[in-house]
Amino acid sequence: MNTLIPGYGLWTLAVLNAAFFIFFAWSFYTPLTTRDWRSFGMYSAFVVALFAEMYGFPLSLFLLSGWLSSRFPEVDWLSHDAGHVLEMMFGWRTNPHFGPFHILSFVLIGGGFWLLSRAWPVLYQAQRRGELAQAGPYARLRHPQYVGFALIMTGFLVQWPTLITLLLYPVMLITYVRLAINEERDARARFGAAYEHYSDVVPRFFPRRRRTLAVAS
């Protein structure tokens, strides 16, 4: 495979990278409930699909190479660097790892992991105590864990878009929105007026400009 398409066929590297990012996220977000497992499963599927094409076989570039070559004939679309599709399409001809979209992807991925690392301990302690999570990121967002996963997936998509991840991305977002709505329904049933007040003050996914204070339970 490496002889036919240089830079690919590195399945060991694909497995190692997928395992690293899955277990790295696990260290911040240990699934406890069925909903936790569902959200983590979506993330894991996305990561596996991504690295399978990044280092294994470039299925998307292989299928789209004719169309891409007709519009961007100066690019070798079966080279490994061409996987940074946005850099190639917008004319970045030097090392794509220093391209604007690649840098943006690291900001998004890093921000997502940072948000997960801050949110999970708060949620874990609240669940242990049977309380409503309102501290840390939960003082700004009602569902920072889903926002964190969405940021990570967006970063990977910007860095190395593929047909499979493009299909998984909206499915993942819809799933996270539905999970969030179901969690809110359960929280209203459990915490009553306290959660109603919390949801009135703290937005679901997008923080307000001014800092939102945690609501006392």
DSSP code string of 147-180: HHHHHHHHHHHHHS--HHHHHHHHHHHHHHHHHH
Query: Which pair of structure tokens corresponds to residue 184?
Result: 């809110």
Q: In sequence order, which residues have a C-beta less than 8 Å from that of residue 210 and are 6 or more positions away? A: none
Asked if the structure places residue 153 within a domain, the reply is yes
Asked if the structure places residue 216 within a domain, the reply is no
Between CA 145 and CA 215 the distance in angstroms is 19
Query: Which pair of structure tokens corresponds to residue 53?
Result: 């094409």
Alpha carbons within 13 angstroms on the beta-carbon side of residue 30 total 6
Per-residue model confidence (pLDDT) at position 202: 92
Q: Is 135 left (phi over 0), alpha (psi -120 to 50) or beta?
A: beta
Per-residue model confidence (pLDDT) at position 167: 93
* Domain extent for 117: 11-201
Over the chain (217 residues), the average pLDDT of each successive run of 10 is 64 93 81 78 90 91 88 86 87 82 94 92 86 91 92 94 93 90 90 90 84 45
Per-residue model confidence (pLDDT) at position 210: 59
Asked if the structure places residue 4 within a domain, the reply is no
Asked if the structure places residue 6 within a domain, the reply is no
Rg (CA), the chain: 20
Q: Provide the whole-model pTM.
A: 0.83
Asked if the structure places residue 5 within a domain, the reply is no
163-191 and 144-159 helices, crossing angle to 10°: 170
Per-residue model confidence (pLDDT) at position 4: 53
Per-residue model confidence (pLDDT) at position 41: 86
Per-residue model confidence (pLDDT) at position 140: 92
Q: How many domains does the chain have?
A: 1
H-only helix segments in 29-137: 34-51, 59-71, 85-89, 100-129
Per-residue model confidence (pLDDT) at position 118: 92
Instruction: Work out whether the CA dihedral 190, 131, 147, 156 comes out positive or negative.
Output: negative
Per-residue model confidence (pLDDT) at position 184: 92
